[in-house]
Structure 1
């Protein structure tokens, strides 16, 4: 498959349609995957977004034919193509990605000649861009890194203490009869609030929020009435 070469800002890029054709996926699926994972894509790193005057200038150069009513164009870099291959996660997508890297993105070009001042300015700009990209990656890792073993243990112990207290202590009838139900209710509510399949998947940045959730947690009204009903038996014995 021979691709029309598209270049922008010194890089080779692909349209969504080209990417979809190579990955043997519908363009709509590429768009859906992008919309579902927008927080992972960084503009000017994974894609270029052309609108307004910049889009009109790009259209005028005639590298590719574009619909007249198009008002927004996404062009995907090598790193963006990698994220899309990861989202699709098919054998065809990974095979196509490797071919794109070898035969499209990694084309050896003659470097332009610059004066020493231009070289210094370019190096400074590249250094600044590299720092921004590293900061973006670090911020992403911070936001998605899971809690460690000690933090998991802290959450588990705090939850146990809160639940036992709600039951009236380990010596209470409620603890003996319905503790499993109350523990289950707590963890279901906890995972639903933080939108995780298990408590160990909570990001580190939400560790303190998890402890605050535990300290503020109380059984639902119906569950509290059931606890009170169980423990009221102690008063009549």
Structure 2
């Protein structure tokens, strides 16, 4: 079992979920799924999930940003409590030891000029790290459930509007294609696999996109023709 790395993030001791996954012999994506579940339960109980798990990001081998979590000691406690057998025991021993070592280092007084300078440099690096992390989170944080619902609702309303309403012939015959066209264009415009992956910073832009969207020319003509048939006088279609 590898040694767990613990860092001091603005006075909060944390460890990376990738480190934890490697230590407990679990795929990182599986641990991430579990942590999201724990966070959801905590939030539902009106507890601060950030006291346990802090959303973060890292750059993979392709220099692309990927999500991860920073676990506090409480977060490690929660993960350890879900484990059984030797791995759970060893993980508990490892994180308790590393967190205590870091806590003791923080408590030790800095007595020399060299140590003071080193501490100042480390603090500056941490500030830069945190500022970069905050900026990254702001730029890459995904929309929340409420915003996702609003995009879904507004998108559906826009498509229905462009088809003339849910009682029209166009809606009954081509709504499936219209919705497909809308969501495909939405995902292509924002370069995302699904609308729930939209970055928070582009939420207002997404609402504007929905407000200004309309089907392509061929579909607009098809909608017009179908709805015109619906309003023909009785018997005119047979003439």
What TM-score does the superposition give when structure 2 sets the normalisation length? 0.50
Distance in 2 of aligned mates of 1:136 and 1:199: 26
Are positions 1:150 and 2:146 aligned together? yes
Paired residues, number: 131
Distance in 2 of aligned mates of 1:176 and 1:38: 43
Partner of 2:118: 122
Distance in 2 of aligned mates of 1:38 and 1:155: 26
Distance in 2 of aligned mates of 1:147 and 1:171: 32
Partner of 2:63: 37
Q: Name the SS of the counterpart of 2:231 in structure 1.
A: helix
Distance in 2 of aligned mates of 1:129 and 1:159: 44
Q: Name the SS of the counterpart of 2:133 in structure 1.
A: helix
2:174 alignment partner, one of 174, 178, 181: 178
Are positions 1:210 and 2:236 aligned together? no
CA shift for structure 1 position 210: 1.0
* Cα deviation digits, residues 8-47 of structure 1 (max 9, x gap): xxxxxxxxxxxxxxxxxxxxxxxxx75x42678xxxxxxx
Q: Name the SS of the counterpart of 1:236 in structure 2.
A: coil
- Residues 1:214 and 1:134: Cα distance change in structure 2 (over 3 Å): same
Distance in 2 of aligned mates of 1:216 and 1:37: 34
- Residues 1:177 and 1:38: Cα distance change in structure 2 (over 3 Å): closer
Partner of 1:231: 227
Q: Which runs of 5+ in 2 are unaligned?
A: 1-59, 67-109, 234-239
Distance in 2 of aligned mates of 1:134 and 1:143: 14
What TM-score does the superposition give when structure 1 sets the normalisation length? 0.51
Structure number with greater Rg is 1
RMSD (Å), alpha carbons: 2.1
